[in-house]
Amino acid sequence: MLIHEIVEFCNAEYRKADTTHVCRNCNHPSECSGNCKKCLKQVHYPSQYPNGKKDYDCENLINFYVCDYTNKYASEMLYLLRKSEKLKEIDEYHILSIGCGAAPDLMAFEQYTYEMNDSKRISYWGFDINDLWKPIHNKIKEYQSPKIIKTRFKYEDVMPFFDECTIREANVIVLQYVISHFYNTGQIEVVQQFFSDLIKNVIETRKDGDPFVILINDVNSCNRGRDYFEDLVNILKEHNYHGQYSCFYFDYRIQNDFQRYGEKHKRNNTLFDLDKIDLDIYEPWKECSSAQMLIEID
């Protein structure tokens, strides 16, 4: 499975690097903690660490991140895929993933197609502005699977790209921890324009009547972008696109009722067995914690 290939690769890369103290050529904006897990916390909670690291701009950090988070993110997406009826109507999945990172959504789709026990196949186009993901993407391109027929990646900000180009044939859009990234990087004011661009340059190119699915998986917090999920639904309606949308959440350390976002998943455990890979040094996530929206366009 793809998830095993990529996590094994990143684990090997991390362990052979000099990660026992401050990274060589450290680019931390203040002082490196000497601990990638602490640096990840700085990236994910920028308001708590004004002088902390701001992005995944270190190869060691990226490899650590994959080993720490991939099972969580791929599992969250797989739970969401299992909720969709419209996905069953699609003959071949043409996925556009914005801010794809290590492509945990592709890992979830591979598992989903095996679970459905059908002949459907996957093509995947991942956008990420960060080209430090390239070694991992090269491993994904090398991966052989009867389910995954084509993968390609583009290292570009998708909004300027949409000013010049459209994307045809996509029938699935994945927004996984993208909206919160807009928030973390001080760009949340562009989200509505981003949604409009997606509709104009991706959804409007589909054939009339073909099913289309949008999958949003992100932080379960109104303070970090979750309140923007329904803006996409409203903008779709403004463009005369209608269908069904559903919200879901995992019961993980729920602190207030605002985090009970739609239907609660019955479980929150991660779904992929990575026990054969020694990941103890990362203390990887064992539980899912996100909020989700499933949009199925008729």
Element (H, E) at 294: strand 291-297
Report pLDDT for 190.
84
Angle (CA) 143-203-235 rounded to 5° is 125
pLDDT at 202 over 80: yes
**Which pair of tokens denotes residue 100?**
């794809």
pLDDT at 298 over 80: yes
Q: In whole angstroms, what is the distance from residue 273 CA to residue 58 CA?
A: 27
**pLDDT band for position 64 (50/70/90)?**
very high
Report pLDDT for 145.
94
Q: What global pTM score does this model have?
A: 0.94
**pLDDT band for position 19 (50/70/90)?**
low
The overall longest dimension of the chain from CA atoms, in Å, is 56
Tell me the percentage of the chain whose pLDDT exceeds 70. 98
Q: In whole angstroms, what is the distance from residue 188 CA to residue 166 CA?
A: 23
pLDDT at 17 over 80: no
Q: pLDDT higher for 172 or 32?
A: 172
Q: pLDDT higher for 271 or 48?
A: 271
Burial class (CB in 10 A: 0-12, 13-18, 19+), 48: exposed
Q: In whole angstroms, what is the distance from residue 190 CA to residue 174 CA?
A: 18
**pLDDT band for position 20 (50/70/90)?**
low
Domains of the chain: 69-297 (3.40.50.150)
Burial class (CB in 10 A: 0-12, 13-18, 19+), 213: buried
For range 203-212, the mean pLDDT: 87
Q: In whole angstroms, what is the distance from residue 123 CA to residue 134 CA?
A: 18
Angle (CA) 293-169-226 rounded to 5° is 20
Angle (CA) 178-180-182 rounded to 5° is 75
Report pLDDT for 159.
87
Residue 277 and residue 7 in contact, taking contact as beta carbons nearer than 8 Å: yes
pLDDT at 25 over 80: no
Q: pLDDT higher for 80 or 226?
A: 80
Q: SS3 of 39, please? A: helix
Tell me the percentage of the chain whose pLDDT exceeds 90. 67
Residue 215 and residue 109 in contact, taking contact as beta carbons nearer than 8 Å: no
* Chain segment 108-164, per-residue pLDDT in tens: 999 999 999 889 999 999 999 999 999 999 999 999 999 999 999 999 988 889 888
For range 23-44, the mean pLDDT: 82
Burial class (CB in 10 A: 0-12, 13-18, 19+), 33: middle
Angle (CA) 5-21-7 rounded to 5° is 10
Residue 121 and residue 113 in contact, taking contact as beta carbons nearer than 8 Å: yes
pLDDT at 22 over 70: no
